[in-house]
C-alpha cells in the first residue's frame, strides 16, 4: 500500500478537536462561476457541501474566517469593482465573522489573518475553498509553516482544467493531485460529512 510521507516517518494521525479549531473559507467568490474560471458542477457541489458545514460550524460556535481575493483596479479577474469578487450568496458571512482581503494565493501574505487566528488561541484550521491547486495549496503550506494543524475538507474544494504544455490536465485529476500533495505532509485530509456525522 502506498503511504504518505507522514506515515513513512511514523507520525501519528492528527485528531480534529472542534473546540481547538477555526474554519477558513478561501476565495469562495462569484468569480469561480463566471467566464474562464467557472468551476461548474464540481464547484457547485463544493459550495453545497461548504454551506452544510458552515451551518454545522455556526451551530457549534466554531470560529469562521472568510478570505477573499481582490485584484488590481483594472484586473480582468477579481476586479474590485465587479460583482465577481463578492462572496457566493449561499456562504454570506454573518456579522461576527471576519473577512480578510488578500492579493496573492497565500492568505497569510500581507494580511492580518495570522494575528486574528492567534487571538482565538486555537491551533487547528479546517480549510476549504478555491482553487485546490492554487490558493488552498499556498495557504495550507503557509499555515503549516506557521505552526497550525491543518484539516482540509476535500469535498468543499474544487479546481479547473489546467494546461500542461500541449496537454490538458482534467480538473478532477488536478483536484486529487493537489489534495494528495497536501496530505503527504502539510495537512490531514477529510471531508465535511465525516465531521458533521
pLDDT at res. 45: 99
Query: Where does the pLDDT of residue 35 fall: very low under 50, low under 70, confident under 90, or very high at 90 and above?
Result: confident
| Domain assignment present for 190 | yes
| Domain assignment present for 157 | yes
> Which residues contact residue 135 at a Cβ distance below 8 angstroms, ignoring those fewer than 6 apart?
26, 27, 67, 69, 105, 106, 107, 129
pLDDT at res. 26: 99
Which residue is it, cell 503549516?
Answer: 144
pLDDT (tens digit, 9 = 90+) per residue, 47-100? 999 999 999 999 999 999 999 999 999 999 999 999 999 999 999 999 999 999
CATH number, position 176: 3.40.50.850
Q: What angle do CA 122, 127, 133 make, to 5 degrees?
A: 145
| Domain assignment present for 58 | yes
| Domain assignment present for 70 | yes
Q: What is the number of domains present in the chain?
A: 1
Question: Within 13 A of 100's CA, how many CA atoms are on the CB side?
Answer: 23
Q: Which domain holds residue 177?
A: 18-196
pLDDT at res. 36: 84
Residue 174 pLDDT exceeds 90:
yes
Burial of residue 144 (CB within 10 Å: 0-12, 13-18, 19+) is middle
Burial of residue 97 (CB within 10 Å: 0-12, 13-18, 19+) is middle
Residue 113 pLDDT exceeds 90:
yes
| Domain assignment present for 144 | yes
Task: Supply the DSSP symbol for 5.
Answer: H
| Domain assignment present for 113 | yes
| Domain assignment present for 153 | yes
Cα separation, 128 vs 118, in Å, equals 19
**Rounded to whole angstroms, what are the CA distances from 47 to 3, 51, 129?**
30, 6, 8
Query: Where does the pLDDT of residue 151 fall: very low under 50, low under 70, confident under 90, or very high at 90 and above?
Result: very high
pLDDT at res. 119: 99
Residue 102 region, left (φ>0) first, then alpha (ψ -120 to 50), else beta? beta
The pTM of the whole model exceeds 0.95: yes
| Domain assignment present for 9 | no
Cα separation, 17 vs 71, in Å, equals 35
Q: Whose CA is closest to 13, among 189, 195, 192, 194?
A: 189
User: What average pLDDT does range 8-35 have in this prediction?
Assistant: 96
HEC assignment per residue over 66-120? EEEECCCCCCCCCCCCCHHHCECHHHCCCCCCEEEEECCCCCCCCCCHHHHHHHH
Amino acid at each position: 500500500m502506498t503511504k504518505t510521507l507522514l506515515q513513512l516517518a511514523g507520525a501519528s494521525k492528527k485528531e480534529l478537536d472542534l473546540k481547538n479549531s477555526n474554519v477558513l473559507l478561501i476565495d469562495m467568490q462569484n468569480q469561480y462561476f463566471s467566464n474562464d474560471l467557472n468551476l461548474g458542477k464540481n464547484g457547485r457541489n463544493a459550495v453545497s457541501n461548504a454551506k452544510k458545514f458552515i451551518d454545522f460550524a455556526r451551530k457549534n460556535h466554531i470560529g469562521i474566517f472568510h478570505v477573499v481575493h481582490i485584484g488590481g483596479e483594472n484586473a480582468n479577474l477579481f476586479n474590485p469593482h465587479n460583482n465577481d469578487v463578492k462572496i457566493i450568496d449561499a456562504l454570506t458571512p454573518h456579522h461576527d465573522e471576519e473577512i480578510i482581503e488578500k492579493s496573492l494565493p497565500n492568505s497569510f501574505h500581507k494580511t492580518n489573518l495570522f494575528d486574528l487566528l492567534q487571538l482565538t488561541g486555537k491551533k487547528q484550521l479546517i480549510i476549504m475553498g478555491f482553487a485546490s491547486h492554487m490558493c488552498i495549496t499556498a495557504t495550507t503550506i503557509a499555515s503549516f509553516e506557521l505552526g497550525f494543524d491543518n484539516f482540509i475538507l476535500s469535498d468543499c474544494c474544487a479546481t479547473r482544467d489546467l494546461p500542461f504544455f500541449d496537454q490538458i490536465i482534467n480538473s478532477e485529476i488536478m483536484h486529487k493531485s493537489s489534495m494528495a500533495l497536501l496530505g503527504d505532509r502539510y495537512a490531514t485530509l477529510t471531508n465535511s460529512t465525516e465531521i458533521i456525522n
